[in-house]
Amino acid sequence: MTDKKTMILLEWIDASISIENVVLTREEAEEEKLIHGFVCGILVEEFKDRYVVARDWFDEQDTYRGVASYPKTGVINAIKYKFAKRNVKPVTKKD
C-alpha cells in the first residue's frame, strides 16, 4: 500500500483524440500522432502495470477526488515526492 503523503510527477505519452463530430479523410486520420504530457498529483497506488493518481486527497475523510490511472507502458519518467513536516523531498527518479 502506498503512503498517502506521496506526490508523483509523471511524464508520459498519450493518445490524441480528434473532435467527435469532425470528419477526417484517410490521409488526415493517418496524421494523428501521440501527444506528450505531464501530470502531477497524489499517488493513490502503484501497481505492476499502472499508477493511480488523484488531484485531491482529504485526510480527515480519507477520500480522493479527480482520480485517473496511467499505464506504465506510456510513462517516460516518474518522480515521487514524500511530504515530511511540510517539506517536500524527492524519493525516486527514473531517468
Is a pLDDT exceeding 60 seen at residue 95? no
Give the pTM. 0.75
Grid cell locating 11 = 511524464
pLDDT digits (tens, 9 = 90+) for 18-65: 777 788 899 988 888 999 999 999 999 999 999 999 999 888 898 999
Laid out side by side, the sheet with 87-93 consists of 63-71, 50-58, 35-46, 6-14, 75-84, 87-93
42 or 95: which carries more pLDDT confidence? 42
